[in-house]
């Protein structure tokens, strides 16, 4: 595996996929994503690039440190992976992490029913052994509460997307007719074992062996030394949430496009990556301190002048690029600036990428269009200069950072 400017996003190279040893399920991450890695033995953290994924392993590039032993890999704001790191190819900073389990970082559904289930099993006032003593004949308050909890459990058992189990004396028994697949039940047994060792309730999110289902799984230690398990199929919930976020994102994209007469376009990372493949990269440099800005302007000028830029237009474009680069220092720890030339379209594109926290979707209109609006992650007043001096601006902002592409037609 040769590490070069085309690796790991060269679609014709499959070395990083072969190292995952996952067959046809392995795929490249285009473009690579920044991830946070924690070594569980020392709790030391570092940054890496996620370049390949499969159902059983992921591939990471880390030039700063070896990623060996037990690791936690945080993938943006959705999932965390627990696994074991291995050197992928000798002499190359590519590491394979065998996936042991996948954890959800944030809530993805309303928890009312599940909390009721937990309340019944964990309350010291409601011992499940009382259920065995003719609860139908009891008319006291304790009996009424037991009956109420049993009715709640009956409702839960009738919901097809919820599986309820009881683990007792080494046996896993479903409460009702719904039963999960064997691979999911194996995960239940593992989580129950961990809950028993810790002596507390545990929650985890898992993916089915075929990769088609996502479940929230809860194991609760019960007063009678058994363990209750609730398994909720959240596949549809997650899919609907993604659709909702996609519709919301498209609404903001349309608003920004209309208000700026098409000069400001909101694009996804994948769309930006495809856009950059239209041209070739002429230069790239890191901006880490204010003194780097002068070198940036000189480098851009020496590259663009031979292409026939009018002096005034070139000056304006350099001002816009300087403003964008300055923002990476004002609102973060700097960034990467690249220049792409697209000869067949007679235009150039400056790509500015910072690795800050990104801009919230609901803040994008004000962060880009409202003068004086300021947050920690705002693009600042200089964005109006960029809009004025560029023919078009492409923007992508996620939790992994903000990418700007300033586009200028060479012949105008």
Whether CATH 1.10.3720.10 fits 242-409: no
Q: What is the CATH number of domain 112-233?
A: 3.30.450
Tell me what the mean pLDDT of segment 311-333 comes to: 86
In tens, the pLDDT along 275-301 reads 888 888 999 998 888 899 999 999 999
pLDDT at res. 139: 58
Q: Which residues contact 164 (CB under 8 A, 6 or more apart)?
A: 117, 153, 156, 157, 174, 175, 176, 178, 228, 229, 230, 231
pLDDT of residue 295: 93
CA 374, CA 394: separation in Å to the nearest integer? 20
> Residue 371's pLDDT is what?
55
Paired residues of 277 in beta bridges: none
CATH of 15-103, one of 2.60.40.650, 3.40.50.1260, 2.40.10.220, 3.30.420.40: 2.40.10.220
Q: What is the pLDDT of residue 135?
A: 45
pLDDT band at 110 (very low <50, low <70, confident <90, very high): very low
Average pLDDT, the chain: 76
pLDDT digits (tens, 9 = 90+) for 12-67: 677 888 888 766 667 888 778 888 999 988 888 999 988 888 777 889 998 888 88
Q: In this predicted structure, what is the pLDDT of residue 321?
A: 92
What's the pLDDT at 353?
Answer: 86
pLDDT, tens digit (0-9, with 9 covering 90-100), for 146-201: 566 556 655 555 555 788 888 888 888 887 667 888 899 999 999 999 988 888 88
Q: Is the pLDDT of residue 128 over 60?
A: no
**Distance in angstroms (rounded) separating the CA atoms of residues 287 and 350:** 14
The percentage of residues in the chain with a pLDDT greater than 70, rounded to a whole number, is: 73
pLDDT of residue 350: 93
Q: What is the mean pLDDT of residues 79-84?
A: 80
Q: What is the pLDDT of residues 247-266, one digit of tens each?
A: 877 787 787 777 778 888 88
- pLDDT of 369 reads 63
CA dist., res. 270 & res. 30, Å (int): 7
Does position 6 have pLDDT exceeding 70, yes or no? no
Residue 308's CB: how many other CB atoms inside 10 A?
10
Among residues of the chain, what percentage have pLDDT more than 90?
A: 11
Residues 6+ apart with CB under 8 A from 399: 76, 77, 357, 358
Q: Tell me the pTM.
A: 0.48
Domain boundaries, the chain: 15-103, 112-233, 242-409
Q: Which of 3, 31, 15 is nearest to 338 (CA)?
A: 31
Q: What confidence score (pLDDT) does residue 245 get?
A: 78
Nearest to 395 by CA among 409, 382, 406: 406
């Amino acid at each position: 595996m040769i590490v070069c400017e085309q690796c790991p996003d060269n679609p014709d190279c499959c070395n990083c996929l072969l190292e995952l040893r996952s067959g046809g399920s392995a795929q490249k991450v285009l473009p690579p994503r920044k991830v946070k890695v924690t070594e569980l033995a020392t709790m030391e953290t570092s940054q890496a690039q996620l370049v390949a994924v499969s159902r059983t392993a992921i591939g990471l590039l880390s030039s700063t440190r070896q990623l060996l032993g037990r690791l936690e890999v945080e993938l943006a704001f959705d999932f965390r992976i627990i696994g074991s790191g291995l050197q992928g190819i000798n002499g190359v900073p590519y590491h394979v992490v065998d996936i042991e389990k996948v954890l959800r970082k944030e809530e993805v559904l309303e928890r009312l029913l599940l909390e009721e289930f937990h309340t019944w099993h964990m309350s010291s006032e409601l011992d499940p052994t009382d259920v065995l003593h003719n609860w139908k004949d009891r008319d006291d308050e304790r009996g009424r509460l037991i009956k109420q909890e049993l009715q709640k459990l009956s409702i839960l058992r009738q919901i097809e997307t919820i599986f309820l189990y009881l683990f007792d004396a080494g046996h896993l028994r479903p409460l009702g007719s719904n039963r999960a697949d064997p691979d999911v039940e194996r995960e239940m047994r593992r989580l129950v074992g961990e809950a028993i060792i810790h002596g507390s309730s545990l929650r985890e999110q898992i993916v089915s062996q075929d990769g088609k289902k996502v479940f929230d799984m809860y194991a609760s230690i019960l007063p009678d030394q058994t363990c209750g398990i609730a398994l909720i199929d959240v596949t549809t919930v997650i899919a609907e949430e993604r659709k909702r976020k996609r519709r919301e994102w498209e609404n903001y994209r349309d608003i920004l496009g209309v208000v700026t007469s098409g000069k400001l376009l909101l694009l996804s990372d994948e769309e930006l990556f495809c856009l950059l493949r239209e041209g070739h990269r002429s230069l790239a440099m890191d901006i880490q301190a204010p003194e780097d800005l002068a070198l940036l302007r000189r480098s851009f000028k020496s590259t663009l002048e031979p292409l026939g830029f009018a002096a005034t237009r070139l000056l304006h474009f350099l001002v816009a690029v300087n403003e964008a680069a300055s923002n990476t220092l004002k609102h973060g720890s700097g960034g990467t600036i690249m220049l792409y030339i697209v000869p067949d379209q007679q235009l150039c594109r400056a790509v500015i990428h910072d690795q800050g926290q990104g801009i919230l979707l609901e803040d994008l209109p004000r962060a880009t269009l409202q003068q004086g609006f300021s947050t920690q992650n705002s693009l600042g007043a200089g964005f109006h200069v960029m809009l004025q001096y560029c023919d078009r601006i492409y923007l992508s902002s996620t939790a992994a950072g903000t990418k700007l592409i300033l586009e200028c037609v060479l012949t105008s």
